[in-house]
Chain A
Amino acid sequence: MIAPETAPSHEPIHQGTFWLPKASSTLAPGVDHAWDVVMWVSVFFFVIVIGTMAYFMWKYRRRTDKDETSTVDHSAKLEITWTILPLVIVMGLFFVGLSGFMNASVAPSDSYEVQVTGERWLWTFIYPNGAISPSRLVVPKGKPVRMVMSSKDVIHSFYVPEFRIKRDVIPGQYTSIWFEATEVGKYTLECAEYCGTGHSDMLATIEVMEPEQFKQWLESAGGDKSLPPAKRGEALFNKWQCSACHALDGSRKVGPSFKGLYGREETMSDGRVIKADENYLRESILLSNAKIVKGYDPVMPIFKDMLKDDDVNDLIAFIKEQK
């Protein structure tokens, strides 16, 4: 389980109307419009059907066992009415739904492109300048951003309720979706395709910044060098979602807890016993599948291409502190 204190905190979804979250992208109003249309169509039919039913239920309740009932058993006029009228209405619904969808599928040509990788259970965003940002997508306000997405393992789905967009992220293929955020702020990205035990924790934060601020962030996207290594390691621990699988309090999650890990004797799935020193930790982080701790599944992502040397050192420093 994920203890509340180690769970990465996520932005709440801001409420807009009673039904829908706040509309925070340029696509959202189109979807909300479609929602309103189908909502009122449904309310209309619901009231007709259930209203009529309630009225008949009262009016034609059985009074005696000898009640005469009508023998009128068909009406071509009525049948045609309630075939054609709904048909016309649903064709309207179809077109209303179509336009919003087409907008979402075709990104403007001047979109800013971000590569998105989904894997169990981590979102990683790679910027055109090579900056890598795990679990945090920073984008400029008022500029269309196009995500080119692929998965490293199973299917995930990129879902931002406040932007009204969703698209599956599939291994072996690229899918894409775009949005243009209309307001500065923080939003929650959720994984909407079931992907295993960490599915409901596969969230990320989307931070919309003013364009100049975004530029600055992009240039300095590397982290804070003034903190002590263990502190930086802690930040990395949260940033890379290690916390989704590793507890610090000794409890078992998807992976083993880090409490007292450093210096401990670990039994591997092939029976070997290895002392958890720096080398072992480094290998466990970078090539997680090289040695599998007994009793666990080999599901930890391989961080070789994502973490820099400094980062690994900081993480090890942090793990060493968990006594």
Chain B
Amino acid sequence: MAQAVADHPVTEQSGTNYINAQRGILSWLLTVDHKRIGLMYLVSTTIAFALGGFFALMLRLELLTPRKTFMDAATYNQAFTLHGAIMVFLFIIPAIPGALGNFVLPIMLGAKDVAFPKLNLLSLYLYWTGAIFTLSSLVTGGLDTGWTFYVPYSATTGTAVVKVTLGVFIIGFSSILTGLNFIVTVHKLRAPGVSWFRLPLLVWALYATSVVQILATPVLGITLVLLMMERVLHIGIFDPTLGGDPVLFQHFFWFYSHPAVYIMILPGMGIISEIIAVHAKRRIFGYKAIAFSSMAIALIGFLVWGHHMFVAGQSQLAATIFSFLTFLVAIPSGVKVFNWLLTLWRGSISYRTPMLFALAFMFLFTIGGLTGLFLGMLSVDMHLHDTYFVVAHFHYVMMGGTVVAFIGGLHHWWPKITGKLYSEKLGAASAALIFIGFNATFFPQFILGARGMPRRYYNYLDQFQPLHQFSTVGSWIIGLGMLVVLYNLLSSLRSGASAPSNPWGGRSLEWQTASPPVTENFEVAPKVTHGPYDFSTESQ
């Protein structure tokens, strides 16, 4: 199916590339090559995803019946907490910037590496260190606070809160370093001819993400420090019995964690822009609108955190303002969706695996985003807050949005990263399984939530059982789909055909170098004379 449409003669498979340039475990652990670091991020975050997914399948299994199915309430609480915390902090936030971003961003700019390669490696090591702290809680008492660590519960529970918060704190540094690195790289390392408006939209998206990472993460850091102090020393900043304010913690937490949801989605949106343009072989529609909407989302995203606390005892005035701003932040997302649609218009759409995932993204993200509007409405949120409706909303945007985009992007750049082609048949099958399984799992949760099923419930009223069972079965279909993805990609390493340098006919720089690229990305320093989506000049 895939055919080479390379428009620059590149030395195909000249023998050495970044993977086989050096050998031995140390050549990986001490590398400063952004591609190798990206690959290590890919492996690490995938493991985290599988672990988070394992907890998800377990907690879904427990919800087959009300009351006990096979674990007790305390175990269940740990399952959803670790599921949420691992998915958010160890997987979705670092995954796209760390793995795909690290790999393609410098190549897209025509650079040899990121601005601070050693810092890049440090960031990976910090991620590992943080992950070890976080996961050590698994064997030392677990964690049962929910991924939100609300006080006073988190200040009093007997589980390993300090270990996990320390881990998350360290991962925060990793996230800051990645963001800082990307910003400087985009500013300083663009090849000749790569002007700001010739940046691929993934680069714009990662740039906007980095801005959020830099501005939001420190506040999470200080919040976690205060929480640890509260727990260890009882300093009384959050503890109401000592005069502290538990709601202040929520403000701090969401000041980070709402922008963090845009850290999660923006890179995914960037991937979608790339995939849709390349696989519809059409100049992207509304380039500037998409680029600026990324920045708009990043900035307005800082002003809406209070929508997680409409019923948490903040003042009416604050709630009103936050609701108003929440609606504003929905507009730039809409702008993106409409521009993607028009990119399909009079395009030449090929249904290869990345495009299938991108189309699934469009479907799922639209549902996820629109249900965000329900939650942004003050009175409706009063009914829906902390119910399964919220759970469904955020899985539609995080799993249906970001994760689906991530998997799509992984397929899109897989030939570039590994030099191998995977089976399109299995790719299509996995996309279908994940799409169907996902809707089966999470659509019923909208119904559950609207009907009054609170989240984080181990036990539930008997009337909710049929929908829960449906959802659980759906989660197995997702799991199956993920296994197909894994099998397809891994088996391509052994038996896949060699990938040409430009299997999909892309126009941005990463397609102008060999697959896999050489250590410093380009044999000849690139000079760019056209935009990243300039398919019309292809015939030259």
Contacts and interface: CB of A to CB of B under 8 A. Distances in A.
Q: Consider the complex of A and B and state whether they touch directly, i.e. have CB atoms less than 8 Å apart.
A: yes
Interface of A: 1-2, 4, 7, 10, 12-13, 15, 18-21, 30-31, 34-35, 38-39, 41-42, 45-46, 49-50, 52-53, 56-57, 60-63, 65, 67-75, 78-79, 82-83, 86-87, 90-91, 93-94, 96-105, 153-155, 157, 159, 161-162, 164-168, 170-173, 175, 188, 190-201, 297
A62 B450 contact: no
Contact of A1 (B67, B311, B382): B67
A164 B246 contact: no
A41 B373 contact: yes
A42 B459 contact: no
B281 interface: yes
B351 interface: yes
Contact of B380 (A46, A67, A97): A97
B377 A172 contact: no
Contacts of A188: 452, 461
Contact of A94 (B370, B377, B459): B377
A61 B349 contact: yes
14 contacts: A19-B447, A53-B341, A57-B349, A62-B351, A69-B281, A93-B373, A104-B382, A154-B156, A164-B382, A171-B240, A173-B240, A197-B458, A199-B456, A200-B456
A56 B146 CA distance: 42
Given A60-B346, A74-B286, A101-B319, A190 B380 contact: no
Contacts of B280: 60, 69
A78 B342 contact: yes
B196 interface: no
Nearest to A79: B289
Nearest to B154: A154
B385 interface: yes
Given A50-B366, A60-B349, A12 B311 contact: no
Contacts of A83: 331, 334-335
A308 to B, nearest CB: 27
A165 B387 CA distance: 12
Interface in B60-104: 67-68, 72-74, 77
A146 B328 CA distance: 34
A35 B348 contact: no
Given A101-B319, A167-B311, A91 B73 contact: no
A164 B359 CA distance: 36
A193 B240 CA distance: 17
A135 B255 CA distance: 36
Contacts of A164: 379, 382-383
Contacts of A49: 337-338, 341, 362, 366
A60 B345 contact: yes
A96 B380 CA distance: 10
B334 A82 contact: yes
Query: Which of B349, B371, B376 has most A Cβ within 10 Å?
Result: B349
A175 B451 contact: no
Contacts of B331: 83, 86-87, 90
Contacts of A41: 370, 373
Given A97-B379, A196-B77, A52 B341 contact: yes
A31 to B, nearest CB: 5
A142 to B, nearest CB: 22
Contacts of B152: 153-155, 171
B468 interface: no
A199 B153 CA distance: 12
Question: Which 9 A-B pairs have CB atoms at the shortest separation, nearest pair first?
Answer: A172-B240, A100-B379, A161-B452, A97-B377, A101-B378, A67-B348, A70-B346, A1-B68, A200-B457
Contact of A62 (B287, B320, B339, B350): B350
B163 interface: no
B451 A21 contact: yes
Nearest to A174: B313
Given A49-B341, A98-B320, A165 B382 contact: yes
A20 B451 contact: yes
A62 B253 CA distance: 47
A60 B344 contact: yes
B377 A38 contact: yes
Given A7-B67, A166-B386, A70 B330 contact: no
Contacts of B246: 155, 170-172
Given A53-B344, A200-B73, A166 B382 contact: yes
A283 B152 CA distance: 27
Contacts of B319: 101
Contact of A201 (B72, B335, B455, B459): B459
Interface string B357-374: 001001100110011011
A175 B313 contact: yes
Query: Which of A31, A173, A175 has most B Cβ within 10 Å?
Result: A31
B288 interface: yes
Contacts of B312: 155, 168, 170
B218 interface: no
Interface string B314-333: 00100110011001101100
A91 B376 CA distance: 11
B496 interface: no
B18 interface: no
A192 B457 CA distance: 9
Contact of A82 (B335, B362, B458): B335
B313 A168 contact: yes
B284 interface: yes
Given A70-B347, A166-B311, A192 B451 contact: no
B377 A61 contact: no
B241 interface: yes
B158 interface: yes
B374 A196 contact: no
A309 B145 CA distance: 37
Nearest to B362: A53
Contact of B158 (A15, A100, A297): A297
Contacts of A96: 377, 379
Given A96-B377, A168-B313, A170-B313, A69 B535 contact: yes
B146 A194 contact: yes
Contacts of B11: none
A86 B370 CA distance: 12
Given A100-B379, A200-B456, 4 more contacts: A1-B68, A30-B379, A159-B386, A199-B77
B510 interface: no
Query: Which of B331, B350, B447 has most A Cβ within 10 Å?
Result: B331
Contact of B385 (A52, A192, A197): A192
Nearest to B279: A62
B3 interface: yes
Interface in B492-527: none
Given A19-B451, A166-B383, A93 B327 contact: yes
Contacts of A61: 349-351
A2 B348 contact: no
A200 B461 CA distance: 10
Contacts of B463: 12-13
B411 interface: no
A166 B337 contact: no
Contacts of B305: none
Nearest to A101: B378
